[in-house]
Structure 1
Amino acid sequence: MSDSRTERPTRYAFTSRLLHWTMAILVIAQLFLGVAMVASLDAYHLLRTVHQPLGFAILVLAVVRIGNRILHRPPPSAGMRPAERMVATGSEYVLYGLLVLQPVTGWAMLSAGGFPIALTAQLSLPAIAPRDPDLYAVLRQSHTVLGYLLFAAFTAHLCAVLFHTFVLRDRILGRMTMGRRARPTQPPQRQDQEFRVS
């Protein structure tokens, strides 16, 4: 039996949890905004005034989150096999990459198109790409493809969380919640198998 006095933390650091849920809300809002911008030409310019600063906020938070991830190691997950941990870590890195690439591509796309990138009425971002119609077309297509990839990765992440929560019941979600302290992640099914083998 493990001594409770020497147990490692079962939850992510508070800053990690705060960044996680803040970015989740912003990314969901941004995905809906992106769809609405394509579907509603009448509201396009209004939606763009929200889409641009929100995308920049996601980029800044993504960089902060990567730094936070380097400083704070994730808590151990006793209920996951090594292969599962490898997949989880890989998907985490993919999400981080997309959360940086997607807004940077959008920023470069607008720069190549010669469009102002307004964060507020008084503040605009500088161009990071030369004005070039051909480059604009390539970056616009890339921005769209990355949007689909981000949606797919986000959906896969959500499905994995739901699978662990309702099928495996291993309390993985508790490591990232903002409520009471999470209990150790030890799925009963796998625990029983270990007892029978021993």
Structure 2
Amino acid sequence: MNTPTDRHDAFARVLHWSMAVLILAMLFVGVAMVSSMTLRPSLLMLHRPIGIALLVLVIVRLIHRLRRRVPDLPRDLPGWQRVAAHASHIALYALMFAMPLIGWAMVSAAGNPVVLWGDVHLPPIAPHDPVFYSLLRAAHAWLARALLAVILLHLAAALYHAWVRRDGVYRTMAPVPLGPRPDEDRAVTPAEVDAP
């Protein structure tokens, strides 16, 4: 049921912050896999199941978001910032879907099993094809860079709302509500102090 709220619900906040930690871990693991051939096998054992876990979590998160009312943006937010906020969320969701799917397809195209753990394997979703594999590998690398760029923009926007505008937008997704609500965050005039 849609009810007005000034914060995302607890489930949405847990999904947001746990996915943020997993995505950053995946980006660092991905860089380490490319940089170190000795660590690559053990890092792959982490990378694949976390990638599939993120795919499941982003599906859950999207379903949850579509079923729940999200806090409104401040009324005085400039139009271009509203457009940027919506565009960045669409880009984040698109990249969070695309990255694990392309990774899964890339492993399939390489002719390797997609091992989650032990004997649990995922079915291939792409034909075994070295040319297709190289295209997917390049796409996976470029989309990882794009994801990092969008995350940095998202972080910059969150800090802008928290520290510059102080309009309550950061508070809606903060793990715990810090500081005053936006309607409480203003100076009290002497007339208001003296008022009966």
Q: Which residue of 2 aligns with 1:67?
A: 63
Q: How does 1:1-198 map to 2 (within 5 A)?
A: 8-78=4-74, 79-180=76-177, 184-185=181-182
Contact 1:58/1:99, CA 8 A, preserved across alignment:
yes
Report the CA distance shift for 1:50/1:9 in structure 2 as closer, same or farther (over 3 A). Answer: same
Q: Which residue of 1 aligns with 2:193?
A: none
Contact 2:73/2:169, CA 8 A, preserved across alignment:
yes
The two structures have a TM-score, normalised by structure 2, of 0.86
Rounded to whole Å, the distance in 2 between the matches of 1:187 and 1:76 is: 17
Deviations 1:23-63 (A, max 9, x none): 00100110110111111111000000000000001111111
Contact 1:170/1:187, CA 8 A, preserved across alignment:
no
Deviations 1:88-112 (A, max 9, x none): 1111011000000011000000000
Deviations 1:137-158 (A, max 9, x none): 1111111111111111111101
Q: Which amino acid counterpart does residue 46 of structure 2 have in structure 1? A: V
Q: Which amino acid counterpart does residue 50 of structure 1 have in structure 2? A: L
Question: How far did residue 86 of structure 1 move?
Answer: 2.3
Contact 2:95/2:147, CA 8 A, preserved across alignment:
yes
Root mean square deviation, CA, Å: 2.0
Rounded to whole Å, the distance in 1 between the matches of 2:94 and 2:180 is: 30
Deviations 1:102-142 (A, max 9, x none): 11000000000001111111201100000001111111111
Q: Which amino acid counterpart does residue 150 of structure 1 have in structure 2? A: L
Moved over 6 A (4+): none
Rounded to whole Å, the distance in 2 between the matches of 1:32 and 1:92 is: 22
Report the CA distance shift for 1:81/1:182 in structure 2 as closer, same or farther (over 3 A). Answer: farther
Contact 2:106/2:136, CA 8 A, preserved across alignment:
yes
Q: Which amino acid counterpart does residue 56 of structure 1 have in structure 2? A: I
Q: Which amino acid counterpart does residue 24 of structure 1 have in structure 2? A: A
The two structures have a TM-score, normalised by structure 1, of 0.86
Rounded to whole Å, the distance in 2 between the matches of 1:59 and 1:130 is: 21
Rounded to whole Å, the distance in 2 between the matches of 1:180 and 1:186 is: 14
Which runs of no fewer than 5 residues in structure 2 stay unpaired? 187-196
Rounded to whole Å, the distance in 2 between the matches of 1:186 and 1:36 is: 45
Contact 2:12/2:61, CA 8 A, preserved across alignment:
yes
Higher relative CO (Cα under 8 Å, sequence separation at least 6) belongs to: 1
Contact 1:102/1:143, CA 8 A, preserved across alignment:
yes
Rounded to whole Å, the distance in 1 between the matches of 2:72 and 2:63 is: 19
- Paired residues in the alignment total 183
Q: Which amino acid counterpart does residue 69 of structure 1 have in structure 2? A: R
Which runs of no fewer than 5 residues in structure 1 stay unpaired? 1-6, 190-198
